[in-house]
Structure 1
Amino acid sequence: MGPCAFAKLCEILRGIGCLKDTRNASIEEQVAKFLYILAHNERIRTVSFFFRRSNEIISRHFHNVLRAVIYLEDQFLLQPNGAEVPQQIRNSHRFYPYFKDCVEAIDGTHIRVKVSAKDAPRYRGRKEYTTQNVLAACDFDMRFTYVLPGWEGTASDSRIIKNALSRKDKLIIPRGKYYLVDAGFMLRSGLMAPYRGVRYHLKEYSARGPKIVEELFNHRHSSLRNVIERTFGVLKKRFPIISGMTEPFFPVDTVTEIILACCILHNYLMGVDPDERLIAEVDQEISNEDIHNEARNSRNDSDADARRGAILRTSIATRMWNDYSLKMSKTLKKTTDSESKATNMRWTDDMDGFLLNVMLEEQSNRNRPNGIWTSHAFSNMSKKCSESFGYTVEKGNIKNRIKTLKGTFHTCYDLFKNMSGFAWNPITGLFEAEDEVWEPLIEANSNAKKWKRTPIHHYEKLFDLFSKDRANGEGSISAKEKVRQWEKDKEDSVNLEENIDCFGEFSMPNVDSYSPRVSPSYSCETSSKKAKKTPEMVEMLEKQMEIFQSGIDNVAASIRQGNEIAKEGLAIMMQGHEIAKEGLAIMERGRPRCYSEDEVFSELVKIGIPTEHQLDAMLFLIKDPTKMRAFFGVPTTELR
């Protein structure tokens, strides 16, 4: 960020009133600290050393600027209305008129977070570490228009976008328009996904161009949708705090806010300081990346909107292919590429049951720490399944089957969770309910109809294994929703301050010895001319000070009274102690004394018992305690 861009940003933040100069730190200094942490991914204590401020001040300034930047969402996160065709599409014969109804591109990216060991399984998806899956839409000028962070790393892109389309601050798809998405999303009339099972990434076409209609569509689809990947790349290059491979220093809620702030700042910089060198670096890195064909495809849906999306995609691809063939003056035979996937083995219900039992056994043996199966666990599963099935079962077979079982369970779990009236039958494997219970569910979700006759076996075992790993999206929040939340908290705080009586009706006993200190008078009973000039805020503060002083006086009186009561209690305790000592002395005097053999022998020597009779006399007295007490009760002069 250059000096001019920095100065303008500070001016904008000062203008909205969410950030103010303090006695010791200007807005410019606070923003500089904030940007330094974002750009260098430094700890608070490191920045405090550079700026010669305490950790508390640096942290407070960081969060103040963070909140102020998010308040800019209504200026820099603007969703499209679809009124105009994007210039990048209109000016390219490769994209126009085929993608004239395309407004933007959507994708998700994983950003590392720090969570507790209890929550880690929900955040550890296809990465080795805990992440949150951030959904974002951007225009073809590489500016974000919608950002939804907070979803756990195990959540699929399709699930997140379904949530984004139904939130209060929802993703808006203009009527008759669509977004470009990758194969991880479902195909809809408003979400244009590529063909599956066909080359897609641009690098795959470097050696051989498209040969069939699906490949041509995917190639141009990828070329246009690539803008979201470039935008994510520039975002993470600008702000290493969200791209570092090390565990973040901030909790997950703060990381969510940081992501929103970084996207807003990125949009601001793309308008005033785009940094073409940084964009060129990202483009070079993307072109050099290896192709990772990760299995993250969404499920095939068969509802009406999915069919409309398929029809729209086919019409675009067909028109594109016809024009391409005519231009190239080639006649190519159209072929269809089946999407069937070869499988190495076929699983039965009994085999699934055996595998689940082995998985539960390995889990009980602590071979699944933090929700991750260890290599030893997979080896044991492979060995036991091979011995039971009679042929070799590889680790890859186990992993693929676990993924299938987990996906099936999550579909049913999301559908029937918290639904009353449904019960799973362990014999048939079906979710059973009355027809009047099924009807509203099917009406709300057409995919629920198939589960009326499709069994899901071993549901209880699946629940024990996978229910805790399911992402719930409780932490997801958009910038607009965050601002609304802050505004609501602020209103609740103001209402609370207005309604609290601040000890006004709290009566305390008066203490004669207490004389409250005289506080300065805040009365407004001056001349009428001066009273008119007193602002309402000053009057409110004066009233609050009077109430506060009254509360302090009452508390002081209570403390003084408590001290007097404590003194009286201490005197009573001392008196009781003296009485207890006297009682103990009386008990000691009334208790019979026990004399030792030494005392008896010494007394016999004193009274002059002959030496040859001393032992016999001592033994005689010791045998009878009564005679021994009588012996000691007689004066020594009489014994002689």
Structure 2
Amino acid sequence: MLSVGNFLSEDEDEYLQNDLNPSILKLAATIRILAEGSYQKGAGNDFHVSLSQSSVSKVFRECIEVFIMLCPDWISFPTAEEEKYEIKEHFLNNTGFPGVIGCIDGTHIKIVALKMEERFKYLNRKGFYSLNVTVVCDNKLRIRYISSHHHGSVHDSLVWNTSDLKQHLKENFGNGERNTWILGDAGYPLEKFLFRSADEGSPECRFNKIHSKTRNIVERAIGVLKNRFRCILGARQLHYTPDICGKVTAVCAALHNTCIHFKIEMPIVNTSPYVMSDPNDVEMKDH
């Protein structure tokens, strides 16, 4: 948090300090809301923050807008050949699956009920209002791509089919890139650059065991993300507009990557048989 705070103080000083609240208090209030899922009043009453609820509301939105501008610095899909080779080698050595540069999955982020005429768009198949968020992670649980603005009623395959990531991988394939793909579950279509699990009962279903072992790392990444930033945990719901909720989710993903970069201890999440060869080997490239 202090490293991000220093960055904000240097580059966004005028924006963040346009009133009497120093930037460190603004960051403290924002990080508490993100990390604990606490309400603004609770964050404002914190002994170390001491801001009114109205001030916390303003501060939170300000900080989210600043953080969202930093997201591209911390969330980027691998493009350098050396980095892609490193990721592929790690997956191959740990799971036996070649060519993998990431694993994809969707997760629902709860939001509060909206205007009656908009509710149907956000009501998901599980019966609650949400955003359908798509995440791609790499071998070190870093989030390399996130799409956090789709309605909860939208299917994972539609999110994928309209994504800039699909277009990027399609162009790479058209330019001759081979043996490079991401792994997804049965909710995604089979592509030349996306391997999904095989249908049960088919001759190819034996392939599912190694596929599942490899792909489950994205479930672990999502679990770590939500347990680090409990404002997006299933037991909570975000009390903001869908636009702000999408930005909050993306910001949490970027902060998750900074935690990995600075080797901050991960929450324990028991969701995956995937074992990293070196759990401490989580360095990100310098930014």
TM-score normalized with structure 1 length:
0.38
Residue 257 of structure 1 deviates from its aligned partner by: 0.9
Deviates most, 14-23 or 51-60 = 14-23
Say if 1:216 and 1:273 are closer, same or farther in 2 by CA, change over 3 A: same
Any idea what SS the aligned residue of 1:224 has?
A: helix
Aligned to 2:245: 255
Aligned to 2:187: 184
Q: What does residue range 10-21 of structure 1 map to in structure 2 within 5 Å?
A: 10-17=5-12, 20-21=16-17
> Residues 82 and 103 of structure 1 are in contact (CA less than 8 Å); yes or no, is this contact kept in structure 2?
no
Any idea what SS the aligned residue of 2:162 has?
A: helix
Aligned to 2:226: 236
Aligned to 1:151: 150
Q: What does residue range 231-630 of structure 1 map to in structure 2 within 5 Å?
A: 231-276=221-266, 278=267, 281-282=268-269, 284-285=270-271
> Residues 216 and 272 of structure 2 are in contact (CA less than 8 Å); yes or no, is this contact kept in structure 1?
no
- Could you report, residue by residue, the CA deviation over 1:561-595 in whole angstroms, capped at 9, with x for unpaired residues? xxxxxxxxxxxxxxxxxxxxxxxxxxxxxxxxxxx
Aligned to 2:42: 46
Question: How far apart in 1 are the matches of 2:9 and 2:272?
Answer: 38
Quote the RMSD (CA, aligned, Å). 2.3
Residue 22 of structure 1 deviates from its aligned partner by: 5.1
Question: How far apart in 2 are the matches of 1:21 and 1:246?
Answer: 30
- Could you report, residue by residue, the CA deviation over 1:180-222 in whole angstroms, capped at 9, with x for unpaired residues? 1110000010111110115xxxxxxxxxxxxx96344211111
Aligned to 1:290: none
> Residues 230 and 236 of structure 2 are in contact (CA less than 8 Å); yes or no, is this contact kept in structure 1?
no
Question: How far apart in 1 are the matches of 2:227 and 2:28?
Answer: 18
Residue 116 of structure 1 deviates from its aligned partner by: 2.1
- Could you report, residue by residue, the CA deviation over 1:4-50 in whole angstroms, capped at 9, with x for unpaired residues? xx221211222333654456322211110001111122222222222
> Residues 146 and 171 of structure 1 are in contact (CA less than 8 Å); yes or no, is this contact kept in structure 2?
no
Amino acid of the residue matched to residue 88 of structure 1? H
Question: How far apart in 2 are the matches of 1:132 and 1:171?
Answer: 23
- Could you report, residue by residue, the CA deviation over 1:464-492 in whole angstroms, capped at 9, with x for unpaired residues? xxxxxxxxxxxxxxxxxxxxxxxxxxxxx
Any idea what SS the aligned residue of 1:42 has?
A: coil
Amino acid of the residue matched to residue 263 of structure 2? D
Aligned to 2:21: 25
Say if 1:89 and 1:82 are closer, same or farther in 2 by CA, change over 3 A: farther
Question: How far apart in 1 are the matches of 2:237 and 2:65?
Answer: 23
Residue 121 of structure 1 deviates from its aligned partner by: 1.8
Residue 244 of structure 1 deviates from its aligned partner by: 4.0
* Correspondence for 2:197 among 194, 207, 228: 194
Aligned to 1:7: 2
Amino acid of the residue matched to residue 182 of structure 2? Y
TM-score normalized with structure 2 length:
0.82
Is 1:139 the counterpart of 2:138? The answer is yes
More strand by share: 2
Residue 122 of structure 1 deviates from its aligned partner by: 1.9
Amino acid of the residue matched to residue 251 of structure 1? T
Q: Which has the larger radius of gyration?
A: 1
Any idea what SS the aligned residue of 1:11 has?
A: helix
Is 1:128 the counterpart of 2:122? The answer is no
Question: How far apart in 1 are the matches of 2:63 and 2:236?
Answer: 24
Question: How far apart in 2 are the matches of 1:244 and 1:222?
Answer: 23
Task: List structure 1 runs of 4+ shifted beyond 4 angstroms.
Answer: 170-173
Aligned to 1:293: none
Aligned to 2:93: 91
Residue 269 of structure 1 deviates from its aligned partner by: 0.5
Residue 90 of structure 1 deviates from its aligned partner by: 4.2
Question: How far apart in 2 are the matches of 1:166 and 1:267?
Answer: 19
Question: How far apart in 1 are the matches of 2:19 and 2:154?
Answer: 46
Structure number with higher relative contact order (C-alpha < 8 Å, ≥ 6 residues apart): 2
Residue 54 of structure 1 deviates from its aligned partner by: 2.4
Any idea what SS the aligned residue of 2:235 has?
A: coil
Amino acid of the residue matched to residue 34 of structure 1? T
Residue 247 of structure 1 deviates from its aligned partner by: 4.0
Question: How far apart in 2 are the matches of 1:171 and 1:136?
Answer: 15
Amino acid of the residue matched to residue 184 of structure 1? G
* Correspondence for 2:33 among 37, 50, 60: 37
Any idea what SS the aligned residue of 1:135 has?
A: strand
Residue 270 of structure 1 deviates from its aligned partner by: 0.9
Aligned to 1:108: 106
Amino acid of the residue matched to residue 121 of structure 1? F
- Could you report, residue by residue, the CA deviation over 1:348-379 in whole angstroms, capped at 9, with x for unpaired residues? xxxxxxxxxxxxxxxxxxxxxxxxxxxxxxxx
Residue 285 of structure 1 deviates from its aligned partner by: 4.9
Q: Aligned residue pairs: how many?
A: 259
Question: How far apart in 2 are the matches of 1:63 and 1:41?
Answer: 15
Amino acid of the residue matched to residue 249 of structure 1? H
Question: How far apart in 2 are the matches of 1:285 and 1:76?
Answer: 25
- Could you report, residue by residue, the CA deviation over 1:87-110 in whole angstroms, capped at 9, with x for unpaired residues? 422434x42xx52x2211111101
